[in-house]
Structure 1
Amino acid sequence: MTQPSSHIYLDYSATTPLDPAVADVIRTHQERTFGNASSVHRFGRQAKVVLEESRERIAQVIGCKTAEIFFTSGGTESDNHALIGTALHQRRVHGRDHVAVSAVEHHAVLDAAEYLATVGFTVDRIPVDSRGFVDPQQAAGMVTDRTAILSVMHANNETGAIQPLPALSTIARTHGVPFHSDTVQTVGKLPVHVDALGTDIITMSAHKIYGPKGVGAIYIRQGTGLDPLLHGGAQERNNRAGTENVPLIAGFAEAMELAERNREALYRQAVLFRDTLYGIISGGLTGIIRNSDPDGSLPHILSVSLDASRYQVESEALLLNMDLKGVAVSSGSACTSGSIQPSHVLLAMGRDTRTTAATVRFSFGKFTTIEEVRTAGGIFCSIVRTFPVIS
């Protein structure tokens, strides 16, 4: 398979192209399985069969019960449901009014936590070290018997830093606290098995694994209480109202299975791409700060900053010039790339504001080639050399 464009795409952590095999599945079900899965007639029953088969396929990938998978519109809704639904349930049933989240979470988690602060919850952000990792001992000091939910992502979307979920799970269980992890960036890249990770809730998105946009899922361990966010129907066993989009859900299941099948090979490929690219950049430029830890991060992501004491440049100029030269990259999270605010992730890691503003995130996928990586590295170096250097 080849990348579906002559432009070099190195922004796979923002979104991925739709896999042709997944597109075929979606197209087939759009044409043939158009019934409402809640209807009792033949067309509804056909849709219901596809819906439940898709649920089972996804459950098998992450090692959970079929009844523990609930479909949503994507990662953002799933994260909001995890945080808000769990916190409201815990307060209503157990009187818990505290939320603990890592300082480097996706804004879907951070903003949901901030919403909870407006309705009476106390919110603590767990700090990270200079490499972007949560220290379980620090987390332990912030989780109490009043904590309604602990949320720490599996791997960061800007740096790729992989968090110590099993150790954090032990802390949560000590206090009987539901443990949520956003696994949007790790499904299809790392083994995501809910029992091994120790999670009570995980959130997933199809479009990060060559599936369609507009569909995601939330795993809720049996016995974990969440209040629904959406009301108006009994779909998803009363957890999420609204008619299920069966064609997209079927595409999601296909994408999950394909991602898991190809995971190990693509991981090895990503290591080659990351090491090759960083070698070109570090060998061709001085004043490069590596934000993605080489040992504890996803190899699919390489985040680098230009030292602000040496370079006068900002991410926007870098990204625009890269795009003009035919390379698509990002400054970090696509959901905040239009904002003038510096990356909260890099600031939490102790980077200064000016250096944070001169950051580029490269992310690789299955359509990436080594030739594209080498070309992109050379283009990046040539562009950086055109910017003023502080003497």
Structure 2
Amino acid sequence: MDSGLIDSHEELGINAAKSERVQYRKVTTCSPIHTKGYATNITDTDPNALAYGDSLELYLYGEIARITNYTFQYNTHSLADKNGYILTSIVSYTGYSSNAWIPIPTLNRTDADISLFLLAGNSFRYEGPGADPLYTATTPFSLPIGGRANLMYYLSDYYLALSDAQFITALRIISTIQFLTTYLSVHSRGASVLRAPETVDDQAFQIPLPDAQSMTKMSTWFAISMAKLQQKTVQYATGPAYIPAGTDLVGPFNEQQQNMCQNQKIRSRSGTVSFSVLGMAIILILGSFLITTSLALDSVMGFVRRKLHWKDYKSLQWTLDDKSQLQRIAYEEAGQRHWSSGENPVPIH
């Protein structure tokens, strides 16, 4: 999954000239990994443990916080407990010490953040086979119903030379990137981020899942990180809506960063209002010119004709057709005579 180049001005609304913008790109690669050769089965021999005597599967993809020599422990008893999906998320970098995973050499990467997700289907039964890598269910079983018929179902198978403005913009994005890992999109939500449970009934039956179910799930996790990128970019200018107790948040600390708070664009909740300054200027200037011309044209042309004695008859006819002269004629016919200035636009009684 590739976000493509996300422009700090066009997509994130950090208003800046082209020479002061940066671009960010997030690429996430998802791949199922083999368990064969990386899992071992033991029996819990700790009498004080809740799983005493149970069969445990240990997955050996690297140590956790140098405390355990295995990555994940699964109790096979969960297969009979009618438990729902369990999703465990682990991250490789040390920013989260409580879950610091040290990957084995074959999984370790130095050019990316690595997240490991372990999904257990537990006792879910599928109404049809599925070939999705994370929801593989091709083992058929038949379940008697009322002693008459059998219900067939399936079990799970197993940085750069930048200008000052670009540097500040890049720092804004970098400060957000740490919250965009797939691990953080999943870890606090647990199995609630899965889409498959939406189609499970109260008897723990799962309808057949599409072969691309895990791709749908992963794209949802990717979309969560993109939404957080937008949210936290805006929060740089607005401030966070909620500040947890004891958190020491530091706002923009210099003039250039403070100026960026005034250059944040955001979509209006009431919709988008778009207008052209050039278009408005043309309308106002041209409209004002036409109105002024319309108001002054009669007076100017009348004055010119009188001074030049140009087409006096047409000028007089134009004046006599004016509404004020027409009103004078009506008054004269009614007996109200003795008018003067009959050749002017406005006669005098």
Query: When the two structures are superposed, what TM-score results if normalisation uses the length of structure 1?
Result: 0.21
Instruction: Kindly indicate whether structure 1 or structure 2 has the higher relative contact order, using CA contacts under 8 Å at least 6 residues apart.
Output: 1
Query: When the two structures are superposed, what TM-score results if normalisation uses the length of structure 2?
Result: 0.22
